[in-house]
Amino acid sequence: MPHNEELVVTTSTVRYPVIVEAGALERLPHHLASLRLDGALWLVSDSAVYPRHGLALEERLRGAGYTVYSRIIPSGEASKNLDQLSQLYSWMLDGGVERRDTVLALGGGVVGDIAGFAAASILRGIALVQLPTTLLAMVDAAVGGKTGVNHPLGKNLIGAFYQPRLVLADTQTLRTLPSRELRAGWAEVIKHGVIRDAGLFDQLEHWQAEYGALSIDLGILSHQTPITDIIRRAVAVKVAVVSADEREQGERIILNYGHTVGHALEAAMGYGMLLHGEAVAIGMHAEARIAAAIGLCTPELVERQQQLLSAYGLAAAFPVHADREAILALMLRDKKVERKRIRWVLPTALGAVAVRDDVPVELVRETLLGLSS
């Protein structure tokens, strides 16, 4: 993909740019002005991100003449709940929020999801700008309009599709991201290569060969690596898929690769044990093995994917304590299961997947049992 090609999500109802650049936050006032977002700005961030990136941003926006209100939620998944959401509503309503105002979501997927849903629902919806600061949020959560919070009965059960007016990912913010979080984000980048962009996969292999293990350490950002280009290319996959299927009625399911096993693994291990991306990496390995077992892809693909995952610091091995029968049971209860048939997204070649609902449960069980710990 050419260096500066503009990424634009285009659906039947919306059109918005996705900007991926080092230093992009410096130009936020300019982008807001060109979108005519000139009301007050309601900046939502978390306790880890705000001191590192929020304060400077706020100052820049005030300097450009904007009225900015800020709200910091505690860092972590536990904040993505109805209580925090209700506090966000009170903060905005007390502060006199108006229809012409904009919510700025500065943070990872947690901030993006809860602030996004607040924007979707307050006054029946005000403008939303996503400013992702984790690799996972840049390549996945911030693009596509899924917003929401968790309910005591399950993750992401309350929410809405609500598309932002702009997504602006400043790759410089990744410099402060803890390395485990960064690694978890690479799982989604690699996933995008496997499902839709073999060239991205090649590039990730090449980058790894050139820079070695350092490539997962963002210290390398200072060495003129093509990280921003790679992230932009991974984002382009999400942009293309969401543009083709805004509401997950068709093609968008391909983004679920690695997630059928991954989600069940997260739940079986207890949330918080594995990061989402870590579970997805293990899920991708298991699901590629299933694809190979039914003759859909070659064992070489499974091997290449495993090598790449491990080169980016992601284990493909099953956690020792994971109960495989419990994981199978959880998969059969997943919300994406229809009439007891799991809809698998399985690789057929690098850059291509097929959706299959005819994989025998026994074969899945055997594959899970055959995975090494």
Ligand X SMILES: NC(=O)c1ccc[n+]([C@@H]2O[C@H](COP(=O)([O-])OP(=O)(O)OC[C@H]3O[C@@H](n4cnc5c(N)ncnc54)[C@H](O)[C@@H]3O)[C@@H](O)[C@H]2O)c1
Which residues here bind ligand X, judged by CB under 6 A?
46, 48-49, 52, 75-77, 80, 107-111, 113, 133-134, 136-137, 140-141, 144, 146, 156, 173, 176-177, 181, 276
- Give catalytic status of residue 196 as yes or no: no
- Give catalytic status of residue 252 as yes or no: yes
3-state secondary structure of 197: coil
Please, are residues 287 and 258 in contact by the beta-carbon 8 Å criterion?
yes
Helices (H), the chain: 28-34, 49, 55-63, 82-94, 109-121, 135-136, 179-196, 198-211, 227-244, 259-269, 276-293, 299-311, 324-333, 361-370
Residue number closest to ligand X, CB atom:
109
Q: Which is nearer to ligand X, 113 or 287 (CB)?
A: 113
Q: Which is nearer to ligand X, 37 or 174 (CB)?
A: 174
Alpha carbons 148 and 62: distance in angstroms, whole number? 29
In angstroms, what is the minimal distance from the CB of 271 to ligand X? Answer: 10
List 77, 205, 248, 251, catalytic entry: 248
- Give catalytic status of residue 248 as yes or no: yes
In angstroms, what is the minimal distance from the CB of 135 to ligand X? Answer: 8
Q: Which is nearer to ligand X, 143 or 292 (CB)?
A: 143
Residue 17, phi then psi, degrees to nearest 5: -80, 150
Please, are residues 245 and 12 in contact by the beta-carbon 8 Å criterion?
no
DSSP annotation of 295: T
Residue 151 is inside which H or E element, if any?
A: strand 146-151
- Give catalytic status of residue 150 as yes or no: no
Please, are residues 251 and 245 in contact by the beta-carbon 8 Å criterion?
yes
- Give catalytic status of residue 124 as yes or no: yes
Q: Which is nearer to ligand X, 88 or 111 (CB)?
A: 111
List 191, 232, 233, 263, catalytic entry: 263
Task: Point out which residues pair with 167 in neighbouring strands.
Answer: 18, 130
- Give catalytic status of residue 80 as yes or no: no
Strands 166-170 and 15-21: parallel
- Give catalytic status of residue 77 as yes or no: no
Q: Which is nearer to ligand X, 10 or 75 (CB)?
A: 75
In one-letter notation, the amino acid at residue 68 is V
In angstroms, what is the minimal distance from the CB of 147 to ligand X? Answer: 6
Alpha carbons 107 and 99: distance in angstroms, whole number? 23
List 259, 285, 289, 324, catalytic entry: 259
List 165, 233, 256, 285, catalytic entry: 256
List 238, 285, 289, 324, catalytic entry: 238
- Give catalytic status of residue 335 as yes or no: no
Which tokens is 353 given? 């997947």
In angstroms, what is the minimal distance from the CB of 343 to ligand X? Answer: 18
The count of other CB atoms within 10 Å of the CB of residue 340 is 9
- Give catalytic status of residue 233 as yes or no: no
In angstroms, what is the minimal distance from the CB of 334 to ligand X? Answer: 15
Q: Which is nearer to ligand X, 279 or 293 (CB)?
A: 279
- Give catalytic status of residue 238 as yes or no: yes
Residues noted as catalytic: 124, 146, 188, 238, 248, 252, 256, 259, 263, 276
